[in-house]
Structure formats: structure tokens, C-alpha cells
Chains A and B, each alone.
Chain A
Amino acid sequence: MTWVAAVVHGILLGGVYALLATGLSLMFGVMRIINLAHGSLALVGAYMAFLLVDHLGISTYLSLAVVLPGALVVGYALQVTMLERSLRAGELVPLLTTFGLLIVIANLLQYFFSSDVHSLPAGRIGPASWHVSSAVTIPWFDALTLGLAIFVLGLLEFLLRRTQLGRELRATAEDADTAELVGVDARRVYARATAIAVATAALAGVFYAMRSSFDPSAGPAELIYAFEAVVIGGMGSLWGTLAGGIVLGIAQNVGTEINTEYFALSGHVVFLAILVCRAALGSGRVRLRLPRGAVS
């Protein structure tokens, strides 16, 4: 593969990451929670699809008809049982409980599915691709994924800007107390946000599983990629998340060109480099001396 091809593939890969990152971004924006189990929930979506495909012989795309509604329910239930209590209990508690959930899910998946590596069939478009030039081919599936990511982001943007639920979500995110005073049920708003977040995670997990193989240990990796995409793109902006996902995808693919083992590492390096830049810029000056009384 040439460098151009690497960049193009990186852009396409960015679609998956953007999709993965959307739910994380949404939950953080509305509730200020970083759901450490986000990647694991995406993986559960993939495994549910796998069960349906394996046992019923249906196509992966059809399995989404079951997986997505299921994910909505799981997300809603997760919020009203565990996350709501965690929110009330303190600032750090959501991190601790979602981390615990990550561990529980990873090991339950290990128990039920063992370490076998699987992949979801991508259907007839799986092997199809455009030959744009002699060096660059664009797999249809990757293009579909990017298109889907843009569509979902657009849908979410529409939801947030033009519907009553969206207004309630944004109002609750800005000032939950006052939202309650104008009749918004914050509990229900949070539950719906989590439901949407888990559903997009499951969707992303299924598409991730169609383009690469997965096993029970993939959850943390997906979480880290999602988070890196969010941070690179700048937290709080949906389209920034898309940009972040694309940058991450490019970084990873370009890194692979240098050395096939550098896939994940390149992403980490770019992520950490951006952190360093933000830290240096954030402090206002690039110095070794720690600013006096600085609040992080």
C-alpha cells in the first residue's frame, strides 16, 4: 500500500471510530459521565449479532433489527439502575462503577464465548471495492461505514437541534436543576441519552466486527479508540468527533505503513501528542515550572 492509500483507508476507518465515539461523546455532553464500559457494550452488540447470525443464519444487517432495539433497552435500564445512583453518589463513582462493569462484561464474554476470534459477515458488498487508481482501492463496505457514520451523526444533530427531546437534552446538560423547574424530567432525559448512546455503540460494534475480527478482550481497545477520537476532535462537538475519528484512522494506517506492529501505537502517539499540545497551550506557556496554584 502506498501512503495515499493509507490516508484514504484511514479516512474510511475514521467512520467506525466516529460511530464508536458518538455515544461516549453524548453521555459526556449530557451527564458529564465517561462510560468506561462503552467499548465493552459495543462489543456486546457485536456478540449479540454474532449469536443471531450464527444460530439463525440471517444477514448481519438484518440482525441489527434486533440488536439495536435491544441496545436501547439495555442503555435505558443501565441508566435507571446503576448510572443514576452513581451520578448521585459522587463525581468519581461513575468512573468506578463503569470500570467495574467493563471488567464484568469482559469476563462474562470470556466465559460464554471463550477466547475464540470471530468476525461478522459483511454480506455481498464485503469483498467489493472501487479501483480508484492503480494504488488506491476503496472497499464498498468501508465507504458504507463512513456514510453510515455521517448519517447517524446527522440524525443525532437533527435530534438535538430540532426535536423536543433534543431541547430537553441540551437544557438538562446545561442546567439540570432549572430544567426540572420547567417541567423536564431529568431522570428520563438521562435514561434516553444513555439508551441512544448504547444503541450507537452497538451499531458501531457490529460494523467494527464486520471489518475486523473480535474476541472478548476487544472491549477496552474500542473504548480507547473511541476516547482518543473524542479527545483529538475536541470534546463536545459531534462533527469534531468525526474529524477526530478520521485523524485517528489516518494516524493508525500511516503508522502501519512504517511497521505493521505500529497500528495501535501510532494512534496512542498522536493522541498523547495532542494532549501535550493542549496541556502546553492550556497553561498559557510552555515551561517546566508548574504554574502557581493552577487548577487543572
Chain B
Amino acid sequence: MTLLQVEALDVRHGLLQAVRQVSFELGEGETLALVGANGAGKTTLLRALAGAHRPAGGRILFDGEDITAVPAHRRVRRGIALVPEGRRLFPGLTVEENLRVAAGAGRTGPWNVESVVAAFPILAPLLGQRAASLSGGEQQATAIGRALMTNPRLLLLDEVSLGLAPVAVAGVYRSLATLIEGGATIVLVEQDLARGMAVASRLACMLEGRIVLAGAAGELSREQVTEAYFGLGKAASA
């Protein structure tokens, strides 16, 4: 069942056209890895899906309904949650408060403080600690947990491995794998191609605001993706 439909989306970032005519569909339970170099427009696209950026043109349909004009906090109520680039935790709030503040979204589901801690055990001793004093990996776990507290149907993850030690990244991806196994629908922006392709069922590559390559993760070769990533070969003329 199609959960997310994006049609000809145009998003500006200041004076720059960051997303050009992007269209794709995502079915329930699928994981889409969105890859591309810096500045390709991935973060802007994700933020537009979450409602933090108003598109200049095109449509976003969630569960069949047009949500293009719906503000961010209402999209959370409908079931879209974003884990922003750089985590963006509330520094003065404790881990538990960071989690609880997201619980006001009003959606029912399996996620609460206890289940989040079960999924990310490193958070267990940190609940009373201020978010500003956490390590990178701990912050990432909190950020993902915070998004999960809203019991989302669609989870958007922006560069979860950025700035993290390899051990921490591995931990994050183990948790992700568990979520995916559980049937979550995920859009994952990832600069680390290997990681992205390993967990995803679908892959799309962005270059200068456009999707230049898309398909099932298993069917695309590393070479194809690398070419598209750097804008070489056939994709360059797009």
C-alpha cells in the first residue's frame, strides 16, 4: 500500500532551487535510502516532507491525502516524524524530557519511554541527564527515540551517522535494522553508501536537486550508484 507520494516537488532554499521536480512513491514497510553528495538537496527534501520547508511547487500525498499545506506539527499528528540532521536535541532538557515532549503529539502506539529505553539500552542510565552533555551516539539514540515517541507511520532520518564514532554508528544501524524488521516505513538520508544500501529496500540518488537514479536496492550495482552520485556517465546529462 502506498504510504507516501511525492509529485513534481520544487523547494527553494533561500534563492537557491534545492529540490527540482522530484517525484517518487513509497509503500508501507519499505525503506528508501536517499543518497547523494553534499548540497544535492537531500536534507531540504526531507525537511519539506516533514513540513519544515514550504514547497514552491508540486504535491505531497500521505496516505492518499494532500498534506502539502499542512504545517509541521500537524504532520507529526498524522504520523510523519523527522530525526533532523545534527540531532537538534533540546539542550537544556533532560533525555527523558526530550522524549516526553514529543509524546504530546497524541498518537497511540507501542512507543513510550520504557519501550524506547528497551530499544536503546544506552539511554537507561541517562534519563535524568541534560541533553547537552551527551556523547554523539547517545544524542543520536535520544533523537531517534524522540521521533519514535510520536508513534510515527513514516520515519525520516537525516544523516544519522554524521559525526559518530564507528562503534556508535554500528549501534544505531542495529537499532534501525530492528525497526525495519518490525515493518517501519523509513526514508533514510545517508552519505555512507555502503550502510545505506545495506539496510534499504529501495534507493534513490540525488544530484543538484534532482533524482538521477532510482530503483530497488538489490538491483542497482555499486558502480551505477557511484556514477550517479558523482554525476558521471549517463546520469550527468540529466
Contacts and interface: CB of A to CB of B under 8 A. Distances in A.
Interface stretch (A38-46, A71-79, A95-103, A175-183): A175-183
Given A171-B90, A174-B91, A182 B100 contact: no
Contact of A170 (B92, B146, B150): B92
Given A171-B93, A183-B104, A183-B105, A178 B150 contact: no
B90 A168 contact: no
The main secondary structure of chain A at its interface with chain B is: helix
B91 A182 contact: no
Contacts of A186: 73
Interface stretch (B76-84, B190-198, B203-211): B76-84
Contact of A185 (B52, B73, B88, B100): B73
A235 interface: no
B69 interface: no
B71 interface: yes
Contacts of A171: 90, 93, 97-98, 101
Contact of A183 (B52, B73, B91, B97): B73
A182 B105 contact: yes
A142 to B, nearest CB: 35
Nearest to B105: A183
A184 B100 contact: no
> How many of chain B's residues touch chain A, expressed as a range?
20 to 34
Contact of A164 (B73, B88, B93, B100): B100
Nearest to B88: A178
A4 B209 CA distance: 72
Nearest to A165: B104
A168 B52 contact: no
B102 interface: yes
B72 interface: yes
Interface centre among B50, B72, B82, B97 (most CB of A within 10 A): B72
B145 to A, nearest CB: 11
A85 interface: no
Given A164-B100, A168-B104, A182 B92 contact: no
Contact of B52 (A170, A174, A181, A184): A181
B147 interface: yes
A167 interface: yes
Interface string B78-118: 00011010001011110001101111111000000000000
B3 to A, nearest CB: 19
Interface in A135-181: 164, 167-168, 170-171, 174-175, 177-181
14 contacts: A164-B100, A164-B101, A167-B93, A170-B90, A170-B93, A174-B92, A174-B93, A179-B101, A180-B51, A181-B51, A181-B73, A182-B147, A182-B149, A182-B150
3 smallest CB-CB distances across A and B, nearest first, come from: A183-B105, A183-B76, A182-B102
Interface of A: 164, 167-168, 170-171, 174-175, 177-186
